[in-house]
Chain A
Amino acid sequence: MKVPSIFSALLLASAAGFAALTPAAAGDYVVGVIVPQSGQTAFIGDSALKAMILRAEQINAEGGINGHKIKLDAQDEKCNPTSAVNIAQEFVNGSGVAGVLGPFCSADSIAVKPIFARAKVVDLTVASTADAITKDSKWTFQIAAPDGVYAQTLANYAADHGKKIAILNDTSAFGLGAYATVDKVLKQRNANVVAHEQITAGQADLTPQVLKLKQAGADFVVALVLGGDAAKLCLTSRDLGFKAQLAGQTAWSFPNVLSLSKGACDGAIFTDPFDPDKPEAKSMLDAYQKRWNDRPQSYFAAAGWDALSLWAEAAKKAGTAGSDEIDQEKLLDALDNTKGYKGVMGVGDATINFSATDHIALDVDGTHLRRIQGDKLISLGDEKSK
Chain B
Amino acid sequence: MLEVRQLVSGYGPVEAVHGIDLKVAEGKAVAVIGANGAGKTTFLRTISGLMPLWSGSVTFEGRDVTRLSAHELARVGISHVPEGRKVFKPLDVETNLELGSYSRRDRTGASTRQDLERIYELFPRLRERRRQVTGTLSGGEQQMVAVGRALMGRPRLLLLDEPSLGLAPQIFHEIFAVLRRIMAEGVGMLIVEQNVRLALENTESAYVFQTGKVALHGPSRDLLTNETVKKAYLGGSI
Question: A and B: direct contact (Cβ < 8 Å)?
Answer: no
Enumerate chain B interface residues (CB-CB to A < 8 A): none
